[in-house]
A = this chain, B = another copy of it.
Amino acid sequence: MRPAPIPAASERAADAPGQSAQAQAYAYILGEIRAGRLPGGTHVVAERIAQALGISRMPVREAIRQLSSEGFMTIRSNRGAVVTSLGRDEINELYEMRAVLEGLAMRSVATSIDAQGLEEAEIALHRLDRARQDVNWFITAHDQFHDVLLGFCPRPRLVTEIERIRRAAEPYLRLTLKVSSTAMQNTTDEHREVLEQIRSGDPDVAEAGMRAHILRIDVGALVPAVS
């Protein structure tokens, strides 16, 4: 009754063994989108993904539906799913939403973060400073800084939503940074200022600081791919 002698087929694609097939598909597709290997507008064929992962189409469909309701893909009835392509206005919209939400999150962070948390944030800041040469490192370090702060926000949904928005904008940020890396230069001072505002402990200051910080991004300079 055991898995049989050779569980090859189902094991082969097991890049993530314990995961369910649907979770595999979700992680795989989202990873491809975030990395930019599936650019906006790409038609995603369920069967292809299924074969690539060695699973059937069904879990892939569910993953696509979930990605769709999270805004990463768009399903057109009977015509398949395409990777959502964001224009300038839409990216701007995402940043505005993230600005107010992450501002809200900083209200509670300002009052709940402790000395150790502030220390972690400082460390993340240093990592960010050293990562200014490489796009991947930079994005990782940048996310880490924000995640350290969000770790002190006791609102799971709010944090989840913020991170979702950040992921949705990531491909465009990545593309832009690859072309002109000037955006990576001034960030350390920028982020240190935010950190100081949070350190003040004043919710209003912390909120306004983070909100302004996120809105300061020049979205116009983003979006090299004008869908």
Measured CB to CB, the residues of A under 8 A from B are: 20, 22, 58, 61-62, 65-66, 68-71, 77, 90, 93-94, 96-97, 100-101, 103-104, 155-158, 161
Contacts and interface: CB of A to CB of B under 8 A. Distances in A.
Copies of this polypeptide in the complex: 2
Nearest to A104: B100
A94 B161 CA distance: 11
16 contacts: A22-B65, A58-B58, A62-B62, A65-B65, A66-B66, A66-B68, A66-B69, A69-B69, A90-B157, A93-B156, A96-B155, A97-B101, A97-B104, A97-B157, A100-B100, A100-B103
A61 B66 CA distance: 11
Contact of A96 (B65, B66, B94, B104): B104
A96 B207 CA distance: 13
Indicate the member of A61, A66, A69, A155 with the most B CB atoms within 10 Å: A69
B20 A71 contact: no
Given A70-B69, A100-B104, A103-B100, A93 B58 contact: no
B93 A155 contact: yes
B93 A157 contact: yes
Contacts of A70: 69
A128 to B, nearest CB: 26
- What 5 A-B pairs have minimum CB-CB distances, sorted nearest first? A100-B100, A66-B69, A93-B155, A62-B65, A100-B104
B161 A97 contact: yes
Contacts of A103: 100
A90 B158 CA distance: 10
Contacts of A20: 77
